[in-house]
Amino acid sequence: MKIKTASDYMESLRKLSPVIYYKGERIEDVTASPATAPHVRAAAMTYALANTKEHGHLATATSHLTGRTISRFTHVHQNVEDLIKKVKLLRVLGQKTGTCFQRCVGFDGINAMYSVAYEIDQKYDMGYFERFKKWLIRIQDENLMVVGAMTDPKGDRSKGPAEQPDPDQYLHVLKRTNDGIVIRGAKLHMTGAVNSHEILIMPTTAMDESSKDYAVACALPVDAPGVTMIFGRQANDSRRDLEETIDVGKPSFGIVGGEAVIVFDDVFVPWENVFMDGQTEFTSSLVYRFAAHHRANYGACKTGLMDVLTGAVTYLAQLQGSAKGSHVRDKVTEMIHLSETLYSSSIACSAEGSPTPSGAFMVDTMLANVCKHNVTRFHFEVARLAVDLAGGFIATLPSEYDFRNEEVGHLIKKYFSCADGLPVEDRVKIGRLIEAMTGGTAMVESMHGAGSPQAQRIMIFREGKLKEKIQFAKALAGIPSRANK
């Protein structure tokens, strides 16, 4: 692999020249900007973990295409064991970073696109599958980070892609040439975009024949001509000053995943990197499979975050002298129960995985939607319990500048003192950590990342096998089956 270490990864980003704006100014180096550097360090952990004895077997895999050792984040799942190893890896990374490490979207896009490109070619023999495999081998060998770009702006949501007054509200093919295609549009909420190497574009929804120009999947470098990224704001991002450490909450890593808008202004993509162009009947499968893979992840990565939060409030209770209270134990126990229940959901949809016609394994889609839907409830409840246990001081804690001030610093140390002479600074730091992990964009991302709760409810209802369950009830009640009228 060309990129082997966290340092290699950061150096590879410095060699790129993407167009990125934040708060009205151009970011020249994502590894150095206070706005983006924490997210870079979180993603770098995926590279670092691959070089450890303890977790290397989770963070790496053997490519079924080349037989070479690769990052698991570039691997196509070959069996249930691969699906379960991914889950275990994501939980560990959540524990190590306490945030989003950003490579999952591209990972899930790779797996969805692989299986769908195969099926398109089984019907049309377009050469997409061979193109995709060639592209993927390069991604694997160079160990590149891929941002999966699926979500379009959508404009007037009562109208489909081809009905929009502004056709750019869905990314589309503007023209086709002998050498490739030219695309225009945008993708929103793109996690890890500014510190990725390549963009894997996929359609955002199922489409019909009227939307053929919108049924496009392709790949291109983040610094391709015509690509502009606008980095989003996050809660308390003004604290990310180089002089601040404690008030940030997590000085090493970001709050969520560092989302960005990606604008494609007449961007050229060579045919060798085009994996779908107009095959609208396959858009549903691509979106469906991507969503299922991605929703399965959340029972793992968010459990890792919940582990950190549970540890934080437990230690804070020790600092505050309340750890032995029965209500504290009960609430911590509930946090653990919710975390492990969520994790078991992610394991379950992986254990029930099955192969697609391409040989790539898919999670159980019903259980994947249940898993993500549980995240939208359990993570919020764990956060609520954490804030409950922490107390109101995390919302009114004075600045670290006051903590270090000669005039008032001693007052903070006096009135925020801990039990048994434990360090006051520990209480301040752990309070900020809890604040960072329970407020603002972290909660929004858990609720709406990989699709809003309603998206999972729709799929859960569709896959609920209600007709079969009606027959179970009728058989036990002695009711004969009749044709529906």
Give the whole-angstrom CA distance, residue 162 versus residue 205: 12
Indicate whether 315 pLDDT > 70. yes
Mean pLDDT, residues 249-256 taken together: 78
Q: Tokens 């150095």 appear where?
A: 32
Predicted local distance difference test score (pLDDT) of residue 444: 40
| Domains in the chain, CATH or no CATH each | 6-280 (2.40.110.10), 286-471 (1.20.140.10)
191 annotated as belonging to a binding site for a ligand = yes
Higher pLDDT, 441 or 92: 92
| Band (422; pLDDT cuts 50, 70, 90) | confident
pTM of the model: 0.90
What are the catalytic residues?
A: 100, 104, 191, 259, 294, 298, 301, 445
Dist. CA 135–CA 187, nearest whole Å: 21
Output the pLDDT for position 136: 98
Query: Which helix (H) or strand (E) is 19 found in, with range?
Result: strand 19-22
Residue 454: the pLDDT is: 64
Mean pLDDT of the chain: 92
pLDDT band at 440 (very low <50, low <70, confident <90, very high): very low
Please check whether residue 42 is in contact with residue 253, taking contact to mean a CB–CB distance below 8 angstroms: yes
Which candidate, 237, 175, 162, places its Cα nearest to that of 205? 162
User: Could you tell me if 168 and 118 are in contact, meaning their C-beta atoms sit under 8 angstroms apart?
Assistant: no
Going by C-alpha positions, the residue among 284, 107, 262 that lies closest to residue 203 is 284
pLDDT at residue number 382: 94
Per-residue pLDDT tens digits for 25-84? 999 999 999 999 999 999 999 999 999 999 999 999 999 999 999 999 999 999 999 999
Which range, of 227-236, 293-302, 440-449, averages the lowest pLDDT?
440-449
